[in-house]
A = this chain, B = another copy of it.
Amino acid sequence: MPDLPRLLITAGPTREYLDDVRYLSNASSGKMGYAIAEAAAKAGYAVTLVSGPVDLTCPTGVDRVDVETTAEMRKACMGALTSCEGVIAAAAVCDYRPATRIIGKLAKTGGPMTVEMIETDDVLAEIGRCKEARWVVGFALEAENARERALQKLRAKNCDWIVVNDPTAIGSDSNSVELMDPAGAIAAEWTGPKSAIAASLIDWLHSRYD
């Protein structure tokens, strides 16, 4: 039985459909989020893992909620939040979706097509607004000016910490990350297999909060 509080962990991509077949997504494998969920469960936390569509097995002792779209991820997270004492948001949600989802399969026209895209629900910002006494760790995947943009994201989403990594992490089994605080200071740096980084992150949060 877990002897530590429950954590909410998100993982994987989301998908935003243009029609019944075509969707916008990203290549997030879910490996980082699943590694964190596994490390948290091993450390004794109860874990709710809200997962987009990935090809990974749910780690032992983890309660998984499967979602596909960003709206579904938002709903699952807000439903789980009240029973959790901390949040680690590793999912790479689609932040835009087609304004209209076509029923059936869009026929080719022979010419160009203009797709109106609108922003999806901002899941992490809503968690940040509703967090009360909970701590929230976000993830920032940035190609350029990574630290500056990560700090902006941390502040905009009211996170306590943000994990900064870059697009080479996508789909990889290893990663190189920095853990940044709201002042922009680097509290920790970890490089190695995602399983080792996950264990270090959980250990670090455990020392800090429990």
Q: Which A positions have Cβ atoms within 8 angstroms of B?
A: 15, 18, 20-27, 53, 55, 92, 94-96, 99, 104-105, 108, 110-119, 141-144, 167, 170
**Contact yes or no, B99 A112, CB < 8 A:** yes
B-chain residues with CB within 8 Å of residue A94 when the two chains form the complex: 22
Question: In the assembled complex, how far is the CB of residue A124 from the closest CB belonging to chain B, in whole angstroms?
Answer: 12
Bound-state CA distance A53–B143 (Å) is 22
Cβ contact within 8 Å between B18 and A24: yes
Choose from B55, B108, B170 the contact partner of A119 (Cβ within 8 Å).
Answer: B108
Residues of B within 8 A of A144 (CB): 104-105
Q: Which of B18, B24, B99 contacts A22 (CB 8 A)?
A: B24
Contact of A24 among B23, B55, B104 (CB under 8 A): B23
The 3 closest A-B CB pairs, nearest first, are A55-B55, A104-B143, A113-B117
